[in-house]
Every structure is written in C-alpha cells, then in structure tokens.
Structure 1
Amino acid sequence: MSNFNVDVLQIRDSSFNIGLKMGKLLKNRPILKSLEAITKPEIDFNNMKSIFSAYAPHLLDEIHGLSEGLEISINKSAALFSGYDVPKVEAMGCSSLITKEYYVRNYDFSPVFYDSFFSLLQPTEGAYASAGYNLQAIGRHDGVNEYGLVSGLHFVSNNDYSKGLSAWTSIRMILDTCTSLDDAILMLKEIPHSACYNFSLGDGDGNIAAVEASPEKVIVRKDQALLSCVNHFQVSELEKKNRPSIEGSMKRNQYLLTYQNKDLSQRQMFDIFSDKNSPVFFTDYENLFGTIHTFSYSFNQFRILTTIAQSKQVLDIDFQEWVNGKNINESKLNGLIENK
C-alpha cells in the first residue's frame, strides 16, 4: 500500500497563463518522464495546429504557455501535451452511470501515467469555465463545464488506429467550447479520432447519451432515464471493433443496469462507485486496471462530488458558486493505492 496524492488547482487567467502556470507545476514531476516515454519526439505540428485552430484555438495558447513554463520548444510541447498522434495506449478501464439527475464515473488505470491534478479553470477568453482531472496536461479524463455539460472517456480498442486526436483532448475541447449535448455530439462527429472510445455525456437540461466513436464511424446511443457506459461498443454496427475479450466490461455493464428504477441519489451512487468493495472499484494497478478517482456531477444542484482511491476526503463543490468567483478551500486530496 502506498500514499497517493492529487493537487487541486484553481486558475482564473488567460489560456497562455494557464499553460504557463501548469508548465511550472509540472517541472521535475515524474509524470513528465512518463509522458516522454509514451509520446513521439515530434509530431506534424502544422496538422495539429490546423485541427486545434478549427475547434479550440485557445488550447494552442495553452500549449505555448506550457512550453514557456517548462522552457522547451513549442514543437516539443505540442508532442508532449496536445494529444495529437499519440502512440497506442493499451488497457485502461472506466465505468459510468448517467441519469437525468446526475453523472458518476470511475477512472481505472495506473498512477504511473496519471497527472495527479484536479483543475478548476476559468479562462478569461475563448473557453468556458470547467472542472476535471487532467490527462497529458491539457486533456481531461472527465469533467463538467459552466453550462452543466459533463463528459468522460472509456477506452474500447485500437481497432483501425489512425493519426488523430486522443479521447482526452476531445473531452477538453467539448468542455471548453460546447454548451449542450447536441453541441458535443456534433463535435465528436466532426473531429478526427485516433482510436475507438466511448464518450459518456449529459447536459444541464437532463439530456444524456453515450457516443460510440471509432476513427471510421461515430454512433450515438441514447436513453431517457439511465445509461451505462463501459469499455465496449454496444451498438451492433460497431461490435466488430471491440477487443476479443470484453467479459469484464460486460459484467460491469450488467451490474450498472441493475440500478434502473432504483431511484438512488447522487451521493448514494457516488458512495457505491468509490467504495473499494464495489464491483466497479478495482485494485489491479500493476496490470493498468486500478481505480484512480471517482467523479460525479448533479445537473439539478450544480454539485461536484469527487474523490481519489481510498481517500477519506470528498470534494463537495457548488460549481455554480465557483464559476461566480467563490474559490474552494481544498488544495490537495490524499488517498491510497493498494495492489491486489
């Protein structure tokens, strides 16, 4: 068993300065070496720039800020943090449940490839305020924006892998530039995907969906009351793109569907997901399948609940108050990593 910590950041500034501050925070952190080990030394900068310019130009400023903060070239910063043309990532699990009232999700992977930042950001221009867990600095595992639009990623496979955007960069673009479920779906249908991922989504009007996205095709799965989202495609047109072994993902899905018509509160469902004895909490960190954090958002109460693995702390944030300028007091979450 080992200690596990996540820093809680609150930044209200320009996109460049957000990147600058993040770059300074990343200096000498182990995650930098991990990112260098799994990213390419160079990417096609002009291709990346054209995609970002079309969908989220402010993130180019953030990448510039990261380069300044880390004292590296803009090309190196883009290769490390843009999420464009990232080599294949194996494994990675995640489970989420979405209702008209709330969203709740567990992220399962390894702390070795974890940024260990939960960021509340309010850019001064070009993007909406958002809160979520960082991945590759500018990307997000999951999060919510000031319009109550929430999203998270779920790895499916590397079938038809191609040069494109990572799912975590896609999540960040959604949170920064979309106001509704329909906006997010439209973006996910337009941007180039590098691998097969599910995206779990909900918005402030109680609309919910799972977007099943491959580099070749994107299909939307909807329900009025409850949706589960795990690590396999469920629509028949995309089933052939699933990994050969999806028994674990199917088992989690069947478990989540047992909560149909049970009318649990956000806090009750959050406690089920974050409980180390839960069927959706895992400790196989050595094989890249351990629960790192739990994230939840209430569409009606504007309430974020989040915690990290086996932490006694729960961040309980009125996100509307935060957007209106009231900072939270917490600056760190402390948890435990316990390998099975």
Structure 2
Amino acid sequence: MVKGLSNFEIDILQLRTTSYEIGLSLGKHLKDKRIIDVFNTLTKPEINMNHFHYLFSSLSPSLIDELQGLSEGLQLPYEKVAAMFSGYDVPKLSNMGCSAFVDHRYYVRNYDFSPDIYDGLLLLLDPKSALASCGYSLQIIGRHDGVNETGLAIGLHFVNNQEYQEGIAAWTSVRMVLDTCKSVEEAIDLLKDIPHAACYNFSLGDSKGNYAAVEVSPEKVLIRKDPSFISCVNHFQNTDMEKKNRAHIEGSLKRSEYIRNLKSQSLSMEETFRKFSDKHSPLFFTNYDNLFGILHTFAYSFEEKILIINIAQGNNNLIINFEEWVRGNNIKESKLTGHIEALV
C-alpha cells in the first residue's frame, strides 16, 4: 500500500439566534452524519446529571440551552445528548497534537489529530445570551480553538490524561471562555474555577495586547507569561508542572524550539500562518494513521480583527473580517476543502 491524497472537507455554519435554536440547527445538520455514531461510541451511556447541571448552570448556562436544542434536532433524549456532547465526564481520549504562536499582534495555531475523530465544522455563532465567536467545533458544543467578538483568542493543547478525573473536557472549557470572557485575565479566572478532567495547556491572547499560557491539571492551574511572546505545544513548561508531562515529549520540544525561532524573524501573521500550514513546514505532519496529522490552521490578528483559516493542504485560505461578521455581514463560503494523505 502507498500513500495518496484523499479529499477532505468541512462545513461552515453561521447562526445568529438563541442558544436553543443554535443547538436545534446543529442537531438537524448533524442528524445523519457519522460523527454522531463516533461520539456515541467514545462517550459514556450516561453521566451524573446533577453534577453536570450544577457546574454548567454556574459556569455557562447558555450551553444547557444549546444542548436542549441539540437534543430536539438530533431526536435523542436530553440525558443522552448531555453524555455525548457536553464534554462532562468524558472517557480518556487519544492524544492530540497542537502548536501555537501568540504575541501582542496575532494568534496562530495548528491542530493535529485524525480525521476519523473530527467534527468537520467551522462555526460562526452570535447567540443572544453569549458572546459571538468563530471556531472549529469539537464534540459539537466544544471548540478546538476560536476567537470571540471582544478579540479574545484561545486554543487547547493536550498534555497528559494520567491524572484523569470526573470533570470538564478542555474543549468545553475553550467554549466557556469564548462565550463569557472578554480578556486574558477573565479567561484565566474562569479556567481556575473549572474542574478540569485532564492535563492541558491553553494558549490565550486578547485585543489589549495580553497573552499567556495556562497550564492546568485536575489538581492545580499555573500561568506562564513572557514579555515577548508565547510558544504553546503539548508539554508543561512551569517547573512545578513538568513532572506531569508524558515520558516522551521530544516532538513537542522540537516544535516549541522551532516556534521560538520564528519570533526572531519578525514575521507578519500571514508569514507565520504559512510557517504553520505549508506542507513542507516542520510543523506540518501527515501521520494520520497514528492520530498525528494536521487538520486545520487558525489565525487571528488582534490589530486588524482579521481571521485566516485553512484545512490540511487546502487550495485557498479563508479570510474573514470578523469585526464585520459580528456587525451582521455573513460570509458567502459554506465549505472548506483540502486534502490529507491516506493509505490507498
């Protein structure tokens, strides 16, 4: 068998309505898609609904409304939908790879995993009871990464799940931040309040020029800042957290060093985006069979309020004036297309 290129496509949805109606629309869109069966297989048949409701009611109540709408759209019981898509008490999932560069000018991030466990959705949402945001969905209501209407950008970076406990998944934490926080400091405060299920990094930047990496485990949350920029990958860098890293982090260390070297080149966001998304880049991986191939690249300019988005080996970058979108001007695109290397 040899490797060849396989078509890769994601949908773009734009929704401006109540959280319940957003969930309803998502459910109808996803009702017969394979990803529903995937998460049915990966999640528990039921979760502790009392614990779930207590946490979500205090941290992000609009997500409860969205899950209720999703239940109707999918025509599945609410308790089942909460277990499948809330991101609460999810069983341990396989490792994910992610790399990010953040400074006062822009945020750029890659996501590496398998297309078999990928929602294939870019969502632009303007809920009536939460902040407008744009991001790639994970487990439907969660986000890999994204930015909200205030210019706060965030992404997740898997570190370890050895300390896994009942709690909230990193992708749901990303969504809660996007829905409710207006600055890096507000996001840090929320991430300190969330009961985290596993060890993750969160890369953060905002329109005020602030940026940070938040290193979280089920037992503690530490902040990492730097006067020039943040390189965020798949290992903890705070001394007090290093013992929680996986035994083999050589790849993560190499990516971090490469990103650090980019800072000295004083690149524009577009140039940095190419360093992340180009198939010849040291940050571009195609090991999809082992859950480590690039699926998308996401960038946001804090100064220009512009998004640049692409998926693996996509023909064209999608450029979105997010400030204009928030004002009510929808984009015309409904799909992104690219290619991944697969055994044929």
TM tier, smaller: over 0.9
2:37 to 33, 38, 42: 33
2:119 corresponds to which residue? 115
Deviation by residue 1:69-110 (Cα, 9 ceiling, x = unmatched)? 011111001001100000001211000000110000000000
Structure 2 length-normalised TM: 0.98
Partner of 1:309: 312
**What stretches of structure 1 move > 3 A for 4+ residues in a row?**
none
How many Å separate the matches in 2 of 1:132 and 1:239? Answer: 30
Deviation of residue 52 (structure 1)? 0.5
| 1:1-340 mapped onto 2 (5 Å cutoff) | 1-124=5-128, 126-339=129-342
The letter of the residue matching 2:111 is Y
Contiguous gaps of at least 5 residues in structure 1: none
Is this contact kept in 2: 1:207–1:224, CA < 8 A? no
Does the Cα contact within 8 Å between 2:9 and 2:335 map onto a contact in 1? yes
How far apart, CA to CA, are the structure 2 residues paired with 1:41 and 1:313?
A: 40
Paired with 1:312 and 1:45, the residues of 2 have a C-alpha distance of 44
CA distance in 2, matches of 1:272, 1:22: 33
Q: Which amino acid aligns with 2:71?
A: S
SS of equivalent to 1:13: coil
Looking at structure 2, the residues matched to 210 and 179 of structure 1 have their Cα atoms a distance apart, in angstroms, of 16
Structure 2 unmatched runs, 5+: none
Task: Give 1:211 deviation, angstroms.
Answer: 0.3
Percent of pairs identical after alignment? Answer: 57
Which residue type is aligned with residue 119 of structure 1?
A: L
TM-score by length of 1: 0.99
Cα contact 2:6–2:342 (8 A) shared by 1: no
- Per-residue CA distance 1:202-247 (angstroms, 9 max, x = gap): 0110100000000001000001221100000001101111011100
RMSD: 0.8
